[in-house]
């Protein structure tokens, strides 16, 4: 009887070891595919926010459309590009590295993220060598979770082309409506800044925007029953477009555009006419 019990325990131990080896092996084998799917999903959501693709879309179509995007990693404080390879850079990993992150002043931390990377990727869509659209990664606190997404700006760096979130844990039917295509469509054409770029103006309001409001171009309909999530979207967009986010980078791009316009004879002729 004692020998039978020992045999049973021995067989059980062998099975446990074998199963753990199989599970570990499967995890190792599947990890590259899982990482590739994550990268593909981020590309997809970036392209959806920019309007360069529409669902349904295949992986091949996503990768093909992404060839139109020029990515660079910038230093947020200066707005200057770096030599960091965009394809391998992880903003999330950098935000956890003491040498690559910055603790945000609580007064400036309207997005509620506490710490951010000193660097961030920026994605340019060029047409005939000129900037046609800019897509920026954004993140911030909602009600229950951190929202991760992309904001696309037109070549004027003021008009919103699109907005989309690819990861969050908000309540379905309430804050989760940030995924609703109808709500995301409202963002297109809204103005993120005033005409002089003095301040970030875009705001998600409570209820529906009054079309007769002279400031309606800066306002987006709020999500019904999700005031905290709506406010979170406002704050995270304002943070990343502001001085502590991509503000210096946007100022640098605007300066480059001004120099290009002033050096373009055709633009001078247009102004004279």
123 neighbors 136 (Cβ within 8 angstroms):
yes
What pLDDT does residue 26 have?
56
65 neighbors 54 (Cβ within 8 angstroms):
no
Q: Where are the domains of the chain?
A: 71-263
Instruction: Quote the distance between the C-alpha of residue 194 and its chain's center.
Output: 22
134 neighbors 122 (Cβ within 8 angstroms):
yes
Please count the CA atoms within 13 angstroms of the CA of 46 that sit on its side-chain side: 26
Dihedral of alpha carbons 79, 241, 172, 177, sign = negative
Question: Which of 75, 62, 158, 163 is CA-nearest to residue 121?
Answer: 75
Instruction: Report the predicted TM-score, pTM, of the whole model to 2 decimal places.
Output: 0.85
- pLDDT, averaged per 10 consecutive residues of the chain (273 residues), comes to 64 69 60 79 95 94 96 98 96 97 98 98 94 98 98 97 96 97 97 95 97 97 97 99 98 86 56 48
What pLDDT does residue 233 have?
99
């Amino acid at each position: 009887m004692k020998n039978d019990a020992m045999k049973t325990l021995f067989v059980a131990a062998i099975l446990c070891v074998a199963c753990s080896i199989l599970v570990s092996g499967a995890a190792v084998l599947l990890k590259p595919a899982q990482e590739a799917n994550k990268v593909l999903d981020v590309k997809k959501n970036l392209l959806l926010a920019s309007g360069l693709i529409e669902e349904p879309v295949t992986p091949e179509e996503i990768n093909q459309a992404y060839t139109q995007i020029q990515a660079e990693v910038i230093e947020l404080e200066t707005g200057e590009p770096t030599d960091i390879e965009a394809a391998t850079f992880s903003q999330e990993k950098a935000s956890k590295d003491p040498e690559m992150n910055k603790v945000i002043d609580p007064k400036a931390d309207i997005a509620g993220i506490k710490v951010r990377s000193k660097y961030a990727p920026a994605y340019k869509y060029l047409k005939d060598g000129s900037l046609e659209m800019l897509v920026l990664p954004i993140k911030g606190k909602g009600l229950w979770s951190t929202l991760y997404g992309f904001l696309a700006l037109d070549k004027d760096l003021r008009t919103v082309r699109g907005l989309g979130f690819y990861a969050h844990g908000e309540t379905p039917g309430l804050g989760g409506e940030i995924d609703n295509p109808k709500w995301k469509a409202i963002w297109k054409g809204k103005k993120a800044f005033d005409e002089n770029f003095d301040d970030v103006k875009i705001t998600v309001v409570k209820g529906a925007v009054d079309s007769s409001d002279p400031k309606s171009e800066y306002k987006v309909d709020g999500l019904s029953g999700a005031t905290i999530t709506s406010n979170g979207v406002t704050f995270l967009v304002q943070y990343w477009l502001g001085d502590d986010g991509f503000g210096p980078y946007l100022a640098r791009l605007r300066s480059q555009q001004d120099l290009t316009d002033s050096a373009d004879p055709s633009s001078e002729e247009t102004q004279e006419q």
